[in-house]
Structure 1
Amino acid sequence: MTDPELDRDVVHRKSSRKPRNTKEGIQKMKWVSVAVLTAALLTGLTSAASASPTANEVRNTGTIGIGAIEVFDNAYKHPGQYDDLIPAGRFSGYAHTAGLYVGPGYCVRLRGWLYGTEQNPPPPSGLADPQILDGGPNGKQWILSDGFAGFDARALPATDPGCEKP
């Protein structure tokens, strides 16, 4: 059972609102529409930016760890070399990997991703031709191109036939 006084009060409050088709109501609706549209566009731009070629990852497809460089700033966790090791079968863990470190006596076969993401890496047909990065006798740092969405990298002993130019 409802209280007639309460029902009257609710009806009165509802009927005291301005109709939406007033000039003020239409202007508020336009402002809200513009705000929602702007938010939707910004959300779309954020997603597109995160999928840009500079948002690259490096996947270690081999069994030997590879040194990852997040930023070329000479302030590496392993001085003069790299920031973190990319374990076998794992990703670098950076949204953007600036470079790799190849240890002495090793090479890295590097293949750029023509498309794909960490969650959905490309199949072999979606990879660029391999490049060979030679570590030489002292180890070397290599800058990665921003022209690829990511990379597959495999470290091998320098004597391995896979270290020969493709």
Structure 2
Amino acid sequence: MTATAPESLLRRTFSFPNPVNEKAARVVAGGVVAIATSALLLGRLVSTDWLWLSLPLALGFVARVLTGPTLSPLGRLATGVVAPRLGEPKLVPGPPKRFAQAIGVVVTGAATVAVALGQTGLAEVLLALIIVAAGLEAFLAFCLGCTIFGWLMRAGLIPEETCEACNNLALRA
């Protein structure tokens, strides 16, 4: 049975690339660092009203988990404009990157809820965690979420068939 045009469009839209260009992932992470750092610094120096920037961060992570770069402005910029100018793509497995984006959803989503509840200290801590994790990815090519994904695979909590290439962390180096 073949998919209809709308089904095919939905399937293409709500998919995550595998493999992923690590250069694009690092550019996205750099954008996350810039936005989260701006929110944190402006929140500290000017007014906690800037912590609302956790909301577009959370929405960006949701978009990337659901659709890869397709519905994420930062993802589109990274994959369509910046990464192609950085030379040949460096391909890495997609499932760990999607898992890392899902962790971003949880952390920035919690920061957004904390801001809404007036818990600015908690929101600041959560944004600082995102800055650290995204900074490791952007500047050192170390994906914390991908590493956790690998641990979960070795523990048997994520089936090997989810990502055969992820089973061997040396393949990503």
Q: TM-score range by the shorter chain?
A: under 0.3
TM value normalised by structure 2: 0.24
Greater share of strand residues, 1 or 2? 1
TM value normalised by structure 1: 0.24
> Which structure's CA Rg is the greater one?
1
